[in-house]
Structure 1
Amino acid sequence: MNIDEQHFKRLLDAYLTGRATPEEQKLLDDFFETYPQLRRTSTQADAATREAIWRQLASNLPARPPQGKGRTLAPVWYSVAATIALFAVSYFLFVRYTGDTPAPQTVPLRQAATDRGQKLKIELLDGTQVTLNANSTLKFPEQFEGNVREVYLTGEAYFQVAHDAAHPFIVHTPVANTLVLGTSFNVRLTPDNRAEITLVEGKVDVGGVILKPNQQAIARQGGEPVEVRDVDVTAFVDWKDNILRFDDVRLGDAVTVLQNWYGVDITLEDPALAHCTISATYRKETLKNVLASISYMLKLTYRQDGNKIVLQGHGCKQ
């Protein structure tokens, strides 16, 4: 059957949406079973995994066919087979490890942890660089073994993953897991048990959803669909360079950030202050300067006794 890549992509779309004819379904299924790596994965994977593999195949095909004669189905497949075979294997491994309970570890894990007011930079033995934000923990093996590189995160961290196509990198969190080959991204667990994965460059998979640069995935516990939105990534990764940004942020939320950032306890004397919003950027500023700035913006005063701070004022009009 002679078809070009554009036609093949349409076949995949029909396959995934249930519109393919029995003959088209058999054609694609036969090709799926042709390659050993994919066949080994497909026999152990569920329907959702197989669909994710097909979607990844579709995303790797160019939108337009090359100039000249249409290609046969086989050459079209060969042009992306290596990529999809790798994805199939890594996706299956990813699915194995996405349960609520992590898979048993055969390698002892080391732990790096930060308290409030601390940040920590770590370089793993594979060359991956991790910046750990305040009040966060990263568990990782001294030496990665097996087919995947796995780490376990609570809190927030910025990852610059060393590229290794043969050994996908997985960041486990209590809410969602992120699968990558080599890329830069931020992972943050929020106080309300959400996971925010913000992609700076490369490509990551969050629960079967593929992110592009300048996109953020929001995952929640309980099996809810992953939400994807376009974002200004600097707002989510500036912290690693000691830049503190508040873009129309509620003071109540800003206080939580400040407590972790500077290792202090902040109380709002009037609970109504929590609903006031601030917009400001602070580059390596002292706590004193930040408090003075916020006090000026919202017409507040504050008193400090050691690590305990009280913000005072009359709130703001909503």
Structure 2
Amino acid sequence: MKDKQDYLKYLLAQKKLTSEEEEWLLKYLNDHDISDIKKIAAEDFETDITYMKKSLDRKQSEEILEKIHSRIYVPAPTFYQTIRLHRLKIAVAALIIIIAGAGYWFMETGVLFTPANKEIVTTGKRKTVKLPDGSLITLEPNSRLVYPQRFTGNTREVNLTGEAYFEVKPNHEKPFIVQTPYVIATVLGTSFNVEAYPNGIAKVVVTTGRVKVQTVNASNELQAVIINANQSVAYNIIINEIEKRNAPEEAVYYKQRRSGKFSYTGVPVAKVVREMERYYHTSVTLEGDMNGCVFYGYFQANDNVERALSLVALSLNATVKKKSNNKGYFITGGTCR
């Protein structure tokens, strides 16, 4: 009926309803025939379809609207508050489902859609991911990151298994939270690295700013540890021990890895090799009297492992050999110059 549809639009456009209008609207919502709502919602659906990122189809939207009456009871104040927020969009009726925990969100346009999380899994290569708030995450190989298509509510939360470097956009009203199987890191705007592989050990190193770290089973805020730039926290779930320490060298390592260039000025070769092992996830053995040698030079993050090792070997007049099991390398025959 055309007049009923027009009246519904009129009611939903009002900032405040009279007691008679409230009674009429609640009676309408309690009726099993909500075909007028479906028609108006369908009009909104067609109008806003271009703004949807991941939507329910038209049939699903109508089915959800159809179930409003049977699934929940909506107190009048809550419903009218929703109406005031969303004005003409009749699809706000479906927003009531969100309050009941059905798992659907609304965009500003009023279109109903399912907020599927995005999942990034890396295997042999690193991957840089830009989050909806502009924060950047560099995900290490063999890691998994899950994050929402848009951040809602009072926090920005992501889930990490493995290792990643975070460059968080400042937002003092919405803390950034990294959930891992072992620890939770909370920041406002900073850069830091998180390791949380499935081995029962987690580690957070801060390069700029400060981070609050607590274990997933912490019962209160007093068990949280605050770390600043050039500090780290390591947690071992097996022995339930958390350790905070200064870590300036590790902070430099993560900064260089993120910048794409590892530079060394008189750094012991043994330390350079350890960082190469860490970066390339391989084994490197120094054969001969080279532990007292130092290295001046650099390698790029996109250099393959053999090229990077050859730069070190060249400075020592040494050679690089692949191990017989193909699971690492030797640097052999070199001396300090």
Per the normalisation by structure 1, the TM-score is: 0.51
SS of residue matched to 2:311: helix
Superposed counterparts of 1:136-155, under 5 Å: 136-155=143-162
- Matched AA of 2:240: G
- Find the partner of 1:311 among 327, 330, 334: 330
Q: 1:138 to 1:311 in 2, by over 3 A?
A: same
Question: Is 2:308 the partner of 1:290?
Answer: yes
- Find the partner of 1:243 among 249, 261, 267: 261
Report the alpha carbon displacement of residue 138 of structure 1 after superposing the two structures with TM: 1.4
Report the alpha carbon displacement of residue 168 of structure 1 after superposing the two structures with TM: 1.8
SS of residue matched to 1:155: strand
Q: Single out whichever of 158-167 and 187-196 deviates more from structure 2.
A: 187-196
- RMSD between aligned alpha carbons? 4.0
How far apart are the structure 2 equivalents of 1:314 and 1:155? Answer: 37
Question: Is 2:205 the partner of 1:198?
Answer: yes
Q: 1:298 to 1:155 in 2, by over 3 A?
A: farther
Contact 1:203–1:211 (8 Å) recurs in 2: yes
Superposed counterparts of 1:82-231, under 5 Å: 108-116=116-124, 118-189=125-196, 193-207=200-214, 208-221=224-237, 222-231=239-248
Q: 1:230 to 1:311 in 2, by over 3 A?
A: closer
Q: 1:266 to 1:213 in 2, by over 3 A?
A: closer
- Matched AA of 1:293: L
How far apart are the structure 1 equivalents of 2:318 and 2:136? Answer: 40
The C-alpha deviation readout for 1:91-112, integer Å capped at 9, x for no partner, is xxxxxxxxxxxxxxx6643112
How far apart are the structure 1 equivalents of 2:327 and 2:210? Answer: 42
- Matched AA of 1:239: R
SS of residue matched to 1:225: strand
SS of residue matched to 1:143: coil
Question: Is 2:277 the partner of 1:256?
Answer: yes
Report the alpha carbon displacement of residue 119 of structure 1 after superposing the two structures with TM: 2.5
The C-alpha deviation readout for 1:49-104, integer Å capped at 9, x for no partner, is xxxxxxxxxxxxxxxxxxxxxxxxxxxxxxxxxxxxxxxxxxxxxxxxxxxxxxxx
SS of residue matched to 1:226: strand
- Matched AA of 2:300: K
How far apart are the structure 2 equivalents of 1:121 and 1:181? Answer: 20
Report the alpha carbon displacement of residue 142 of structure 1 after superposing the two structures with TM: 1.4
Q: 1:313 to 1:122 in 2, by over 3 A?
A: same
Contact 1:302–1:309 (8 Å) recurs in 2: no
Q: 1:290 to 1:278 in 2, by over 3 A?
A: farther
Report the alpha carbon displacement of residue 127 of structure 1 after superposing the two structures with TM: 2.0
Q: 1:138 to 1:308 in 2, by over 3 A?
A: same
Report the alpha carbon displacement of residue 257 of structure 1 after superposing the two structures with TM: 2.5
How far apart are the structure 1 equivalents of 2:207 and 2:286? Answer: 39
Q: 1:250 to 1:213 in 2, by over 3 A?
A: closer
Report the alpha carbon displacement of residue 160 of structure 1 after superposing the two structures with TM: 1.9
Contact 1:155–1:188 (8 Å) recurs in 2: yes
Contact 1:113–1:138 (8 Å) recurs in 2: yes
How far apart are the structure 2 equivalents of 1:183 and 1:309? Answer: 35
How far apart are the structure 2 equivalents of 1:190 and 1:250? Answer: 23
Q: Single out whichever of 120-129 and 182-191 deviates more from structure 2.
A: 182-191
Which consecutive residues of structure 2, in runs of 5 or more, have no partner in the other structure? 1-102, 104-114, 215-223
Q: 1:267 to 1:184 in 2, by over 3 A?
A: closer
The C-alpha deviation readout for 1:219-249, integer Å capped at 9, x for no partner, is 3224213313151432222101112368655
Report the alpha carbon displacement of residue 141 of structure 1 after superposing the two structures with TM: 1.4
Per the normalisation by structure 2, the TM-score is: 0.49
How far apart are the structure 2 equivalents of 1:177 and 1:199? Answer: 14
How far apart are the structure 2 equivalents of 1:257 and 1:225? Answer: 23
Q: 1:169 to 1:258 in 2, by over 3 A?
A: closer
- Matched AA of 2:258: K
The C-alpha deviation readout for 1:255-300, integer Å capped at 9, x for no partner, is 532534xxxx657597x99x99975653426334322233346665
How far apart are the structure 2 equivalents of 1:276 and 1:135? Answer: 34
Contact 1:251–1:276 (8 Å) recurs in 2: no
Identity of aligned residues (%): 27
Which structure has more relative contact order (CA 8 Å, sep 6+)? It is 1
How far apart are the structure 1 equivalents of 2:280 and 2:180? Answer: 23
How far apart are the structure 2 equivalents of 1:253 and 1:189? Answer: 20
Higher Rg: 2
Report the alpha carbon displacement of residue 170 of structure 1 after superposing the two structures with TM: 0.9
Aligned residues: 205
How far apart are the structure 1 equivalents of 2:198 and 2:276? Answer: 13
